[in-house]
Chain A
């Protein structure tokens, strides 16, 4: 089963590499990864979907929390959470099936973002499994190209965020460590 990990981390060069390094060093393949700045420009929120051995999940989360750039790593797999993904589909379709494509897109809550004589570009968001079905349906109407964002998750339970306050440095006056 896939593990969904949500991380709050400092928006700094190398922070992403430190997090993914803990997974790649164990030979785990990352299924999806999204990362973007939060409302606080100094922080990023990351969602990782990865297949981790059940016995090692907690260990991986602890080691992520140990990283200096990571403020909080949470395993959302078994917690109440909303998981969403965005998919962009470009479809080439015949004139005859254009209406049918639109109807199908509508069923999935898709929205046309570009239209040409060759076909459409459609965006849809939703549960990643729902989007699999959407992509399958679209494929039955013609040649498609797909880009997916990867899962974005948000926990529904407030989790206390423990942050370290600034520590006055001893080095202001020359002093031994």
Chain B
């Protein structure tokens, strides 16, 4: 017979069996039994400074590794603070498990101290959620939660556990099977459709690969690379897919969409076969849907049937794990003889000439200046230091777009950003999660002066754990992306976007016991970044950049993605809908 233990100890037993080594959390009244059990348990608990950041850190951990990230909060305010991180993970399909304490089962609904309807509140924030009111359900539920989070289209799962369950005594019964009759995971992909796709690809004159976060979630980077090389088509990866194909790959023509490259958006618009792999035709990618890839037949591979046809009706829908589907496609393409006719071969050559011409016409090139640090210059220097190998956890805004355009990522799981939800305050805690996941890795937290000020409390977490995160603040004194929209589309009536107070970086970092510095001359930039990287431990580098820079290219809201504004001298007009 197994040993008698309380629910809290049993929860840790489940986590350990799921391979969890580290959880990000914040204690409170009803989770006291859990923290009592943690006192003598090998699982490492990382005390963050705000529950929202526990969820973001768990996401950073999951994004950097592909393993399930775990966060933990108490009832009431602890749980409600997690919600932004849960929705963030939901939007980007990131596997995390959130454990929350709940008031004792007999008190639920009585407006007890720190009671909130966590189960109800998080219903729409999660892939699935649970309320555990009986100890005998605990182990099964926790294992189920990990299974649901990690399989199919990954996502956040929350387990709300009442205090009496955490305190109750019982035996851990190993869970042998997960039975969820309604949870259908489609992995294989329809053979006939894959065959049709292969044929369509072989006949394509202007093929384009449009790959996204699904490639990274599926661990399909190798299959993608083989596929792209086999068909020798130009390829774009979305904001969520950066690193799925190495940025230095000759077929890579950068990111499409609102701030995508000219070549990527033009290729999207002109392609005749669009091979969409683990993407969801997000509005930031497609622009005005009616004008999106108007000549293309679409092959859409996704593990989630609800994504197929949501925004764009595909000609060949394939529901399946993109890793397996690509492997089958590669096999089919390898087996079938080079059926490509002369017309197709000639058309493909002409297509590549056009794509190369677009690339040369308007490349994504860093702007520099003698007198001030251009934000693009900063990104180019970070890129130089990283060489496509460092982890960059980004916040949300202009810096995120410039980094996506200019920093190379030669492997998946290096570029961590809040893509779908666009949660400011994500970058710093995500970097914390990533650094715990990859202790030896160079991790940049690349943040704006806005998002950074949402996460300053986490400097405490970084300092007390000695995390060697290099925090680079792209400081333009504005909520830059909002300012850009006010400038371009609201007659430059700037309202509530000026951040005229920013703490002294040296003093702020010093107050937390590490080094910080502010720079504003382009001549100091390279050496300052090198110093940040070579200084052991954390480093806060506040880089004052040109305040007025806007991100280009830009597709105005409501425009087709080929209707890009390429730079400030161009007239700016919102096309009528």
Q: Which residues of A contact B (CB under 8 A)?
A: 9-10, 13-14, 17-18, 21, 25, 58-59, 62-63, 65-72, 162-169, 171-177
Contact = CB atoms under 8 A, between A and B. Distances in A.
Given A14-B123, A21-B123, A167 B306 contact: no
B106 interface: no
A169 B182 contact: no
Nearest to A167: B178
Given A71-B182, A169-B177, A172-B175, A66 B146 contact: no
B182 A69 contact: yes
A172 B140 CA distance: 11
Contacts of B176: 168-169, 172
A46 B251 CA distance: 51
B305 A174 contact: no
A25 B174 contact: no
A176 B19 contact: yes
Contacts of A58: 309
Contact of A25 (B120, B124, B143, B181): B124
Contacts of B178: 166-167, 169
Contact of B175 (A72, A169, A174): A169
What are the 3 A-B residue pairs with the smallest beta carbon separation, nearest first? A176-B19, A62-B306, A166-B179
B577 interface: no
A66 B306 contact: yes
B138 to A, nearest CB: 13
Nearest to B179: A166
Interface in B542-559: none
Contacts of A167: 147, 177-179
B143 A176 contact: no
A166 B182 contact: no
Contacts of A163: 181-182
B457 to A, nearest CB: 30
B190 interface: no
A164 B183 contact: yes
A169 B16 contact: no
Interface in B147-178: 147-148, 150, 174-178
Contacts of A25: 124
B182 A9 contact: yes
A67 to B, nearest CB: 7
Given A18-B123, A171-B143, A177-B67, A10 B182 contact: yes
18 contacts: A14-B123, A14-B129, A21-B123, A21-B124, A59-B309, A68-B148, A68-B180, A164-B180, A164-B181, A166-B179, A167-B147, A167-B177, A168-B177, A169-B176, A172-B174, A173-B17, A174-B16, A177-B146
A40 B381 CA distance: 64
A70 B306 CA distance: 14
Contacts of A171: 14, 17-18, 143, 146, 174-175
B56 interface: no
A164 B148 CA distance: 13
Contacts of B183: 68, 164
B128 A68 contact: yes
Contacts of A9: 182
B19 A59 contact: no
B68 interface: yes
Contacts of B150: 177
Nearest to B310: A59
Contact of A174 (B17, B127, B304): B17
B436 interface: no
B309 A66 contact: no
B182 A68 contact: yes
A169 B174 CA distance: 9
B19 A175 contact: yes
A94 B222 CA distance: 83
A108 to B, nearest CB: 39
A163 B185 CA distance: 10
Interface in B9-66: 14, 16-19
Nearest to A24: B124
A25 B18 CA distance: 34
Given A13-B131, A68-B127, 17 more contacts: A59-B306, A59-B309, A62-B305, A68-B182, A70-B182, A163-B182, A167-B147, A168-B177, A169-B143, A169-B147, A172-B17, A173-B17, A174-B17, A175-B17, A175-B19, A176-B19, A177-B150
A177 B14 CA distance: 12
Nearest to A176: B19
B304 A177 contact: no
Nearest to B307: A62
B120 A66 contact: no
B19 A174 contact: yes
B119 interface: yes
Contacts of B174: 171-172
B122 to A, nearest CB: 11
A59 B185 CA distance: 18
A175 B179 CA distance: 19
Given A10-B181, A169-B177, A172-B176, A65 B306 contact: yes
B436 to A, nearest CB: 16
Nearest to B181: A163
B184 interface: yes
Residue of A17, A169, A173 with highest tally of chain B CB at under 10 A: A169
Contacts of B181: 10, 71, 163-164
A163 to B, nearest CB: 4
B116 to A, nearest CB: 16
Contacts of B184: 65, 162, 164
